[in-house]
Amino acid sequence: MELLLQAVLVKRGLKRNQKSYVTTLSFGDVVRLMEDERLYVPNDPDLADFAQRKLNPVRVNNIAKYILDTYKDGSTFFPAICVNIQPDPIYRDGTIVLPYDSASLRLTDGQHRCCGIHRAIKLLREDGSPELAEVSRMELGALVYAALPLEMERQAFRDQNLLAQRPGKSLAHWFDMRTPEVTIAKDLCKRVPQFRSNIETVENGLGKHNPKLMTLSTLVTATQHMYPRLSAEEPLEARIDWAMTFWAAAASALPDNPWRVLSKAERKQQREDSIVGAAIG
């Protein structure tokens, strides 16, 4: 029995032996390969082949929920996983060929995505979902390294995580069209008069030269406390109206109108002079 993966050969370096491939795996393939112990996460620090971080079950459950919440409308977005494939495969006519019983696909990046996929498929199986087959056919991109030695596999893990950087919370919220608390907060930015031109939507914090008065991240956090456990299916208009009334009244009650639009220098001076101005951000 052979493991066959349609793939494109890509150059990773100048030496001929630095081979990599780009391929795809269906969600069903991911589950099958994990259950057959072909797709392997080397995250046990007590073993000699240790090359991964410890699995975080909370992240796995969050990713599974993300898949189940998004697959119906096609808004599931996953970056490609990275695997080190052993032994060195045969590449023939656009296909990676490996003996199935001895093949090992060692994850250098993407263990939580793969475990989240496995968890989502398991939940659909347990529910007897008629959509199980459709979700199993969804695909995930994969960058495949060919037969890296252990020290290079560890280096790949280190480099992939060192070079990756999450966006700031405010920017991530600004681009989010799915989360109800974020939808409310972004509407408040436009509807509450005091918030207009005063909410920082890109940066994580308010530097001394930032003329804004509050970050979007702060407003989203406040909205989460105002409306805990919101469902994406709930109508939001009444909640937005109530929150708008609350925030407009609360903002108007602050002394010396800290919400007036100021220049960078004026806002810096306001933060230095006013406890209220410093506390809002």
Q: Do 185 and 154 belong to one domain? A: no
- Give me the number of domains the chain comprises: 2
Which of 163, 194, 211 terminates a domain? The answer is: 163
> What token pair was written down for 15?
């030496």
Q: For the purposes of burial, counting CB atoms within 10 Å of the CB of 26, is it exposed (0-12), middle (13-18) or buried (19 or more)?
A: middle
Sheet with 95-99: list strands edge to edge: 39-40, 104-109, 81-86, 139-146, 19-26, 2-11, 95-99, 90-92
152 and 174, same structural domain? Answer: no
Question: What pLDDT, on the 0 to 100 scale, is given for residue 255?
Answer: 76
237-253 vs 216-226: helix crossing angle, rounded to 10: 110
Q: Which DSSP string do the residues of 143-202 spell out, in sequence order?
A: EEEES--HHHHHHHHHHHHHH--PPPHHHHHHH-SS-HHHHHHHHHHHHSGGGTTTEE-S
From 147, 163, 179, give the residue that closes a domain. Answer: 163
Same domain, 271 and 137: no
- Based on the fold, state whether residues 224 and 130 are members of the same structural domain: no
Do residue 60 and residue 115 come from a single domain? Answer: yes
- Do 47 and 141 belong together in one domain? yes
Shared domain for 47 and 132, answered yes or no, is: yes
Single out the residue of 84, 102, 89 nearest to residue 41, CA to CA: 84
CA angle 21, 111, 33 (to 5 degrees): 65
Considering the domain architecture, whether residues 24 and 109 belong to the same structural domain is answered as yes
Same domain, 173 and 253: yes
Contact 47, 106 (CB under 8 A): no
Is the torsion defined by CA of 124, 125, 131, 136 positive or negative? Answer: positive
Final residue of a domain: which of 117, 138, 163? 163
User: 């996460």: which residue's tokens?
Assistant: 41
Over its length of 281 residues, how does the chain's per-residue pLDDT go in tens digits?
888 999 999 887 777 667 899 999 999 999 999 999 999 888 888 889 888 889 999 999 999 999 999 999 888 998 999 999 998 989 999 999 988 888 899 999 999 999 999 999 999 999 999 999 999 999 999 999 999 999 999 999 899 888 877 888 999 999 999 899 999 999 999 999 999 988 999 988 888 788 888 999 999 999 999 999 888 788 999 999 999 999 999 988 887 777 887 777 877 777 776 654 444 55
- The answer on 102 and 225 residing in a single domain is no
Cα-to-chain-centroid distance, residue 59 = 10
Q: Do 147 and 15 fall into the same domain?
A: yes
**Are 153 and 184 found together in one domain?**
no
Nearest to 139 by CA among 63, 60, 80, 75: 80
| Enclosing domain of residue 193 | 169-280
